[in-house]
Structure 1
Amino acid sequence: MQRTFTVKREAERFALKVETTKEVGDTTKPLVRTVKIFREVAEASLEASRARLKPGTVAQYEHILEKRLLPRFGSRRISAIVVEDVEKWIGDMVAEGLAPNSVHNYYVLPNKTLRYALRHRLIPFNPADGVELPKNVRSEGFAPVFLTAKQVEALAAEIAGLRVRDINLAAGHVEVRQTMKRIGKEWKVGTPKSARSTRNVPLVQSGLKTELRMLLLAHPNSGDPDALFWPGRHAHSHALDYSQPVNLGAVLRYYLRPAAERVSIPPRIRFHDLRHTFASLMLAAGFKPYEVSRWMEHASVSTTDGIYGHLYPTDYNEQITKFEAFVAEA
């Protein structure tokens, strides 16, 4: 390592810092002026993991990098970023009004980049490690915990990817096995994001099963198990086109919201509001939280409990009867 100084005292201080860094076993790369900037490291980190990531995840990371990280850290030396910088960045997003889930999702990429820098000995420690993130706070009344953009995108991909074979009326459930997502100008076929995301969702209402059966009978490609179940729209008209994936934006705009308004439901309803409705109805009907957790694709039953615990039935008659019977036998 070689540096030039105009003042002897600065050279001596730098030499002492180098020796101290070497003694504790840390890298001296951050002390060199030619150290990489954040943009270079972030791009290298993303490129190194590209082969292991799904195209949709790569596109999401690139969007976060462009909109949230490069304007703030792009030209900064990677070694000059400290804990206070990361905390200030998080604090600004909270002050901006972003939901805690969104802040958590945005935090993943800078933490990933800084871990990459640490692994390649570009920095002596990760300034994003252990930074306090905002917590979700549930009020006493019902406060919906809305999905993040990434989760909504995953839900939309599952709906668009549904095939004829996935409507299993004999077993009484819908099988979530495939996703279809628009990346740029192309539709990409993929799989759900995790093993837990691959699941069976029961059809617990006979009327719903009847509606799905009628749709299957009317489907022009019902004999092809790999045909997409939901039709899209023709590029130059509003006619249904079973060769194209469903356009959920159009379904929301032209069908779901007008229907909601006709029955006095707020017209700003979103697809993920239907998830909350589903979970609420299943729990009110007495289904076990761990069952609902599986159908909802939650990471664990604790997630379901944290969001919907206040909706659990509070009728203890069954428990009272069981306990009295146990005491009587004793």
Structure 2
Amino acid sequence: MASIQKRPDGAWRARYRDRSGKEHARHFRRKVDAQRWLDESASELVTGLWADPQLARGKLETQAAAWLASHPEWAPSTRARNRSIVGLHILPRWGGVRLGQITTEDVQKWVGELTASAGSIRKITGVLSGIMEQAVATKYLAVNPVAAVARPKQPMKRRRYLNAIEVERLANCAGVHSDMILTLAYCGLRFGEMAALHVSSVDTQRRRFMIEQSVTEVNGVLEWSAPKDHQRRSVPYPDFLADPIAARVNGHHGDRLVFPTPGGHAMRIGNARRDWFDPAVQAANLSPLTPHELRHTAASLAVAAGASVLALQRMLGHDKPSTTLDVYADLFDEDLDRLAERLATARSEALADFLRTNDSPNNPPT
């Protein structure tokens, strides 16, 4: 219900109730302005763009805390990263500012003043946009002022793929850890997924890893979580890994780690790189190389072996095939070349049949 009343002092009092029944009122010198405000509010309520003007007076620091607390699906590393960004970049500039006072123009200026890499600036801006997007969803704001902010383009870094010979060289230099190199390079597991594998997660008959957990070091503490994007999956391993994997799992109880440290604990990627991965990379003359680049290598080797986009998506645990294409579009360039060659061959065969048919005396041209 909405109404306009003239007050004794000559001002016009406009009021309406939102969907929850809460009353909102403002005073205007002219009746036409009061009516315009009521019409705009009614339109916003109908279209879903309405936001509580009282809530818009809240400060961003409160909304940021609510945003950080409302995402149980985040992996521990993602939560730690977002907390760090909020504390180091968002709160110092915007923490004490009212939500309704944050404008696209001000945010754009701030983005231009940030001294960080393009990738970092995109992450920082993304966090602020996420906070404001939640403010929109909870009716603190009508629109997200960060949505229209231009962000610097992140230069595409050429992804590195090892070939099969380089993988063998690296595995040979890794010594007793060679099966871990081969697992990463031919199965596409993330390091944390490999480190979290338990004996119960291995099917030696079907040669399958059941990827159900990941373990990551966050601020010095090992955090266990579901795989990234919560994509639990079954990943086959090649037969040349059958014996090494069987040796690691046979005779052991189900909750034992497949690839433990000498002390029986989950591997930490920093320690693994220091103790054996980086020395092996250096000995194989492949520096610089990270464990995650072996995941890229697995994608490359799989595509070279004829894997489809769907098969690659399932192996890597991407949420959808389009993600796989976005990440590894360059791996399918050769497919386009082969497609052009096949189309040329098909046309040549069709043309030969056409000419042979039309040259036949039994089939004179019409």
Structure 2 length normalisation: TM-score? Answer: 0.65
Per-residue CA deviation, residues 238-260 of structure 1 (Å, 9 max, x unaligned), is xx111x21122111112111111
Query: Displacement, 1:167?
Result: 2.6
Q: Answer yes or no: is the 8 Å Cα contact 1:166–1:175 preserved in 2.
A: yes
Higher RCO, 1 vs 2 (CA within 8 Å, ≥6 residues apart) = 2
- AA partner of residue 261 (structure 1): Q
What letter corresponds to residue 300 of structure 1 in structure 2?
K
Matched, 1:41 2:41: no
Aligned equivalents of 2:55, 2:253: Cα separation in 1: 63
Distance 1:191 1:309, change over 3 A: closer
- CA distance in 2 between counterparts of 1:323 and 1:27 reads 61
Q: Deviations over 1:151-177 (max 9, x none)?
A: xxx944323321112232321232211
Determine the structure 2 residue equivalent to 1:126.
144
Q: Please say if residues 135 and 141 of structure 2, whose CA atoms lie closer than 8 Å, have aligned partners that are also in contact.
A: yes
Secondary structure at the aligned position of 1:194 is classed as helix
Counterparts of 2:191 and 2:315, CA distance in 1: 16
Whether 2:133 is the aligned partner of 1:111: answer no
Contact 1:30 1:123 in 2 (8 A): no
Q: Partner residue of 1:66? A: 87
CA shift for structure 1 position 118: 2.9
**Alpha-carbon RMSD:** 3.6
Residue matched to 2:246: 213
Question: 1 CA distance for matches of 2:104 and 2:194?
Answer: 41
Q: Is the 8 A contact 2:200 2:255 kept in 1?
A: yes
Please give the alpha-carbon distance, in whole angstroms, between the structure 1 residues aligned to 2:345 and 2:247. 44
Amino acid at match of 1:24: E
Other-structure match for 1:302: 322
Give the corresponding residue for 1:29: 53
The letter for the 2-side match of 1:310 is D
SS of match in other structure, 2:80: helix
2:198 counterpart of 1:198: no
CA–CA distance in 2 between the matches of 1:303 and 1:52?
A: 19
Contact 1:30 1:124 in 2 (8 A): no
**Structure 1 residue 280 corresponds to structure 2 residue 280:** no
- Is it true that 1:172 corresponds to 2:192 in the alignment? no
Larger radius of gyration: 2
Residue 260 of structure 1 is matched in structure 2 by 281
Q: Would the alpha carbon gap of residues 207 and 27 (structure 1) be closer, same or farther in structure 2, given more than 3 Å must change? A: closer
Q: How many residues align?
A: 287
Offset from partner CA, 1:198-234 (integer Å, 9 cap, x none)? 1222223x333332223335xxxx43112222213xx
Query: In structure 2, what is the Cα distance between the partners aligned to 1:16 and 1:125?
Result: 28
TM-score by length of 1: 0.71
In structure 1, the residue corresponding to 2:118 is in which secondary structure? coil
> Which residues of structure 1 form unaligned runs of 5+?
1-13, 147-153, 233-239
Matched letter for residue 230 of structure 1: F
Deviations 1:97-132 (A, max 9, x none): 232xx5554444322321333344433422022434
Are 2:158 and 1:143 aligned? yes
Identity of aligned residues (%): 23
